[in-house]
Chain A
Amino acid sequence: GAGVSQTPSNKVTEKGKYVELRCDPISGHTALYWYRQSLGQGPEFLIYFQGTGAADDSGLPNDRFFAVRPEGSVSTLKIQRTERGDSAVYLCASSLRGSGASYNEQFFGPGTRLTVL
């Protein structure tokens, strides 16, 4: 079956511009996560959705970052006034459930590589 998909695969933008990154989770997965992976580092948690609501957005670095999941499926990560430090790979993952399961594998998408010039 289809895995997690992310579009675009690559995005190059100029400093100060607005970008949207899209994530299509695995069908039926209620939990969705966004991570950011800077070069040479492990992914860092940004935000977790359970259904349509953001259950935990504590990882968003500042108020330029925002994410939505209006119908409980597709999610969009939005970055306003991009800065060069935002350059990274943005990974999306989904799982069948969020918390409450002892084993709850997160399936990752291929990521969107964002480059801010």
Chain B
Amino acid sequence: AQKITQTQPGMFVQEKEAVTLDCTYDTSDQSYGLFWYKQPSSGEMIFLIYQGSYDEQNATEGRYSLNFQKARKSANLVISASQLGDSAMYFCAMRVEYKLSFGAGTTVTVRA
């Protein structure tokens, strides 16, 4: 069974600052994918970034980067230069074959 742990229920960040969201995972599978999704108050799940278990370089997508430490089984999301529109719930997820398992999420509030 796969388990995703997000230990930060909520975080506040000042506009234009960077924020790191923690995610650890547990799996016995060697092949898996790690995802981060953003869920604003409107409810849709927005894909942000992906990291494959065999990828050696950390993934980056614009202001999002994933700090992948395979030995520690961690996949932290870094959002740089935070914007007010970044205020949302953020979910870390792991996919093994077809099944996505999600963490409990972290609420990010960006302050002006």
Bound Cα distance from A3 to B44, whole angstroms: 11
Cβ contacts under 8 Å, A50 to chain B: 98
B98 close to A48 (CB less than 8 A): yes
A45 close to B100 (CB less than 8 A): yes
B-to-A contact residues, CB < 8 Å? 4, 31, 33, 35, 37, 42-45, 47, 50, 52, 54, 91, 93, 95, 97-105
A43 close to B45 (CB less than 8 A): yes
Tell me the nearest residue of chain A to B50, going by C-beta. Answer: A103
Bound Cα distance from A91 to B54, whole angstroms: 29
Tell me if A25 counts as interface (CB < 8 A to partner B). no
Tell me if A42 counts as interface (CB < 8 A to partner B). yes
CB contacts under 8 Å to B, within A94-116, are 95, 98-100, 102-111, 113
Interface of B is mostly: strand
Cβ contacts under 8 Å, B104 to chain A: 40-42
CB contacts under 8 Å to B, within A17-39, are 31, 33, 35
B44 close to A110 (CB less than 8 A): yes
Cβ contacts under 8 Å, A55 to chain B: 98
B47 close to A41 (CB less than 8 A): no
Tell me the nearest residue of chain A to B44, going by C-beta. Answer: A110
Query: What would be 8 A-B contacts, judged by CB atoms less than 8 Å apart?
Result: A40-B104, A41-B105, A42-B105, A91-B45, A98-B98, A103-B33, A108-B44, A110-B43
Closest 4 A/B residue pairs (Cβ)? A42-B102, A108-B45, A99-B97, A98-B98
